[in-house]
Amino acid sequence: MGAISHLGHGADAFWHGLLRAESSPGEVADPHARMSVPLMYSVPEQPLPEISSDGDFDGGGVPPGLASRYAIEGARQALADAGLGEVPAERTAVVIGTGMGDSGLHERWRTDGRPDADGEWAPVFSVASALGAWLGAEGPVSSISNACAASGFGLSAAADLIRTGVADVVVAGGAEAYSRVALACFNRLGAIDPERCRPFDARRAGTVFGEGAGIMILESAEHARARSAPRVYAELAGEGWSCDAHHATAPEPAGTQIVRAMRAALEQAGASAEEVGCVVPHGTGTELNDVVESGALHTVLGERAARTPLYSLKALVGHTGGAAAALGTVAAALMLHHRKVPPNRPVAELDPQCRVRLPESEVPLEGRFALVNAYAFGGNNVSLVLKEARA
């Protein structure tokens, strides 16, 4: 796995950041962000390679934007972590979820002008293509862009490529970088918390965006055994999709289709409520989302919902849009690997309508499964169930 977030670069930095449970957003370093709440959980500055549009490092062509570079750096980390040897290019695939793609590149051109004289056209949703070119993958290379559930759907699609025999290895996950347009739109919606991202807090006032990437190497258990993989974090055991199409931005109040997605994922994984050791919720900090998801968890997990530890990832890294499900999956896999749930960022006052458990100190992970949820505008819902890796 590879991870880039507000907590730093690399899966180890990500895990240690979860254990510290400390973070705060800051103002975006964009003089053109003329909006009332220009807050974001930004990625700490660290040199990233300049990559041309054809995946080379020679600086030719139109360089991909920051989201593509996050994805490539996350993939570099993941490939090193996996100890992956030679895989035929035609048996290697790429699936990346992103909400805004490389739109930040175009936004910068809008204010600063194009660096090249000929004004060569560049696509916005180019993250998967840039990663595929850098990797030299000749299998399917796909970008999935259904907003904040994108990388959850992407991981499901990646697993299907392996199950159906199309690919042996899939580099999959999500990437998102700062977008002035996205932040401005959420400001206009009144959906940005002026303090920080506070999921399930009674005083929450919206979400706060973050940026980064979560990249995983997916392969079959047989393929991992055949190459003597040095480490297997978890098994992607179940996925559930649904769409309620209730409203352009608001979740359906009863959470019917959210429940459906969770139940489908648990059923495919063969996981009972008693076996779910932790939940990484979508938990954006917006008023309706947190209440609806809390109610849906009680419907699915029953009386265990109030006792099963939730890990509120967005309270530390912000809402990373299309990368949210991927970073949530990285977090869940690390919890299964280390057999513990890190401490949550403390909640000042738990919303009485959100009857969930958010441990503020480290607790052991009890159960073989972890549930990850991701929801998006338009009612796009996805749930993933991870299972502890077999010895």
pLDDT tens over the chain, length 391 residues: 999 999 999 999 999 999 999 999 999 999 999 999 999 999 998 767 666 555 554 445 667 899 999 999 999 999 999 999 888 999 999 999 999 999 998 898 889 887 765 666 778 899 999 999 999 999 999 999 999 999 999 999 999 999 999 999 999 999 999 999 999 999 999 999 999 999 999 999 999 999 999 999 999 999 999 999 999 999 999 999 999 988 888 889 999 999 999 999 999 999 999 999 999 999 999 999 999 999 999 999 999 999 999 999 999 999 999 999 999 999 999 999 999 999 999 999 999 999 999 999 999 999 999 999 999 998 999 999 999 997 5
Domain CATH for 321: 3.40.47.10
Beta strands across the sheet bearing 8-9:
8-9, 2-5, 212-219, 169-176, 92-97, 141-144
Question: Are 160 and 255 contained in the same domain?
Answer: no
Give me the residue label for tokens 């025999």: 165
358 and 321 assigned to the same domain: yes
Q: In degrees to the nearest 10, what's the CA dihedral of 88, 91, 97, 98? A: 40
Residue at a domain's end among 187, 204, 226? 226
Do both 145 and 168 map to the same domain? yes
Same domain assignment for residues 179 and 86: yes
Same domain for 211 and 178: yes
Here the tokens at position 172 are 């999959």
Residue type, 240: G
Whether residue 125 sits in one domain with residue 267:
no
Cβ neighbours of residue 302 under 8 Å, at least 6 residues apart?
A: 273
What is the DSSP code string of 324-348?
Answer: HHHHHHHHHHHHHHHTEEPPPPPPS
Report the pLDDT value the prediction gives residue 58, as an integer from 0 to 100. 42
Tell me, what's the pLDDT at 114? Answer: 78
d(CA 240, CA 156) in angstroms, rounded, equals 8
Q: What is the pLDDT of residue 178?
A: 97
Single out the catalytic residue among 9, 148, 278, 337: 148
Which one of 226, 261, 284 terminates a domain? 226
Do 58 and 175 lie in a common domain? yes
| Identified catalytic residue from 6, 9, 282, 337 | 282
Question: What pLDDT is attached to residue 50?
Answer: 63
Q: What is the pLDDT of residue 51?
A: 65
Residues 192 and 328 in one domain: no
The pLDDT of residue 119:
64
pTM score, two decimals?
A: 0.95
Active site residue 148: yes
Domain match, 77 and 206 both:
yes
pLDDT for 250 equals: 87
**In the prediction, which pLDDT does 123 show?**
82
Catalytic residue selected from 9, 197, 278, 319: 319
Structural domains counted in the chain: 2
Q: Kindly state whether residues 244 and 372 are assigned to the same domain.
A: yes
Pair 165, 251 in one domain = no
- Residue 301: partners with Cβ closer than 8 Å, 6 or more residues away: 273, 276, 308
- The single-letter DSSP state of residue 115 is S
Owning domain of residue 361: 234-388
Angle formed by the axes of helices 324-338 and 11-20, to 10°? Answer: 80
CA atoms within 13 A on the CB side of 129: 13
* Same domain (yes/no): 20, 164: yes
- CA 368 to the chain's CA centroid: 21
- Chain segment 271-308, per-residue pLDDT in tens: 999 999 999 999 999 999 999 999 999 999 999 999 99
Question: What's the one-letter identity of residue 36?
Answer: S
At which of 167, 197, 226 does a domain end?
A: 226
